[in-house]
Amino acid sequence: MPEYWLELSVTADPEAVEAISEVMSRYASGGVAIEEPYELVDDGQVALPMPGAPVVVRVYVPSDPAGEEAHARIAEGMWHLRQIGAGNISDISVRRLAEEDWANAWKEHYHVTHLGKRTVIKPSWREYAPQPGEAVVELDPGMAFGTGLHPTTRNCILALEDVIKPGDRVIDVGCGSGILSLAALKLGAASVLALDVSAVAVEATRANADANGVADRIDVQLATLAGAAGEPFTPLPHDISILGPEISAFDIVLANIIARVIAQLAPALLRASRPGGVVIASGIIADRRHEAEEPLRAAGMVNIREFLEGDWVTLAGTRGDA
């Protein structure tokens, strides 16, 4: 391990975060840390979201020739993004950290966060006394996943809180750190099937489920749903489309991905829902809403509600053949 690390960070408008993360992740193997804007309350222990404010995106590279090359490549990528007018991207801020400081540097940016009306995300190293009726999820996202403050996550939680009932069966397509799966279980779901195409995400979700004491109620698989043509969208060891009658047995279907993937999976997302069940689709940039909504409607999604925040849209509706 190198003795020193470089923390590279930029601030930008929320709509530029996806492009910045994609560029940074090419050259920083440790993952991208996204710090959504927040206001600290309760003596600095609780973070309240500040929608629309600039976002900080960070990566860590070794302080050696390879890290300096990564720094130069990332700087070049940020320059190109600025040339196409992407989201008021700042110059790169650089901080040099010793190995022992780097190991915990990202933790300072994570706080207790209130999502929705009663869901609370708590890092394990923070103290928090839950209020009556709150569902507390203990989540250590590390550097590979965000804080849970992203508008898509908040809106998914809002939609989930509105519809979930004790005993519901939930499927989470693209589970990431497992934040939505764990929230569903803490809000009363009986079981969750969590799928992701990333082995890192699968292991993170399993670890977070174990930390929350719900590992016996969640099945986490390296898998995805079948796509529009009936073929697996991504060839993986498990294709949920082979589960037979159970494919229509879920009360709630969660898909916090991106518009293009939601469009490809739309028929499978609706098939996964029981008749009258709820489908919550998120990760949709407002300008691409039609790319996701039209295929969802064509697949049978009705009674669609929208949850808007800034440039992000979450769509929640029901399977129409109840």
Distance, CA of 182 to CA of 278 (rounded, Å): 18
Q: What predicted TM-score, i.e. pTM, was given to this entire model?
A: 0.71
- Residue 30: the pLDDT is 64
Distance, CA of 247 to CA of 267 (rounded, Å): 12
Range scoring the smallest mean pLDDT among 66-80, 175-189, 204-218, 307-321: 307-321
Question: Which residues make Cβ contacts (< 8 Å) with residue 167, sequence separation at least 6?
Answer: 188, 189, 190
pLDDT: which is higher, 276 or 140? 276
pLDDT tens column, 121-177: 888 878 888 888 899 998 875 544 555 567 788 899 999 999 999 999 999 998 988
Residue 231 has pLDDT above 80, yes or no: no
Residue 238 has pLDDT above 90, yes or no: no
Class of the CATH-defined domain 4-41+50-108 = alpha beta
pLDDT band of residue 233 (cuts 50, 70, 90) is: very low
pLDDT tens column, 79-107: 999 988 877 899 999 988 876 666 566 66
- CATH code: domain 148-319 is 3.40.50.150
Supply 164's token pair. Answer: 């979930």
pLDDT tens column, 12-64: 987 788 788 888 888 886 667 777 655 655 554 455 555 667 888 888 888 89
Distance, CA of 66 to CA of 30 (rounded, Å): 14
pLDDT tens column, 281-302: 998 888 889 999 999 999 999 9
- Residue 196: the pLDDT is 86
Question: Which residues make Cβ contacts (< 8 Å) with residue 173, sequence separation at least 6?
Answer: 195, 224, 225, 253, 254, 255, 257, 265, 269, 272
Average pLDDT over residues 196-209: 86
* 174 contacts 256 by C-beta, under 8 angstroms: yes
What one-character DSSP code corresponds to residue 227?
A: -
Residue ranges per structural domain of the chain: 4-41+50-108, 148-319
- Exposed/middle/buried for residue 242 (C-beta within 10 Å: 0-12, 13-18, 19+): exposed
